[in-house]
Amino acid sequence: DTQKASVADAALAAGAEVVNDVNGLRADGMVEALARHGAGAVVMHMRGSPRTMQLDTRYDGLVGDVQRFLSERIEVLRSAGVERIWADPGIGFGKSPQDCAELIRRLPELRSLGVPLYVGASRKSFLGHLVGEPDPKARLAASLGAAAAAARQGASVLRVHEVLETRQLLDVIQACT
């Protein structure tokens, strides 16, 4: 998990197989490092930087904007020879709480990207807004709800804090549906 090509390159040389970059793999040399090592990539949407992303969370067309960005980045990765790609809509990164819920609800629209969808909603602040819980560590039920919704809507990978509880949730859902 890095935004720096030099860190990604060193991690890949040491045996890492996938790079997760909240900056959409836009740093100079990042895509080349991935291609050189035959690595997989999680490309995430974030408008702005971690410092500025929440300053303006208005979108003219949320899903379309996210989809266009991810599609462009996926094309750059494929053109460089990166084959294992996951698309992350960037829950909590430059989006309002309502936008985060909408992105999970509308994940099926992102399937047209042609890559597996990766969602990290665990403990995020949008969940606190939805359920009125300011403490991230007290958002287990909310995190499980988001994980269930994301899985139902087509997420292939869930980034979570409570792995056992999420695995049990998904096992029960699978058994009962």
What are the contacts of 25-33 at 24+ separation with CB within 8 A? 25/73, 25/76, 25/77, 26/73, 27/3, 29/5, 30/5, 31/76, 31/77, 31/80, 31/82, 32/5, 32/80, 33/5, 33/8, 33/9
Catalytic residue selected from 95, 123, 124, 139: 124
Spell out the alpha helix ranges (H) of 5-139: 5-13, 30-37, 62-79, 97-105, 107-110, 125-131
Rg (CA), the chain: 16
Q: Is 124 a catalytic residue?
A: yes
Q: Count of alpha carbons within 13 Å of 44, Cβ hemisphere only?
A: 25
126 near 116, Cβ under 8 Å? no
3-state DSSP call for residue 132? coil
Catalytic residue among 73, 95, 123, 159: 159
Catalytic positions are: 124, 159
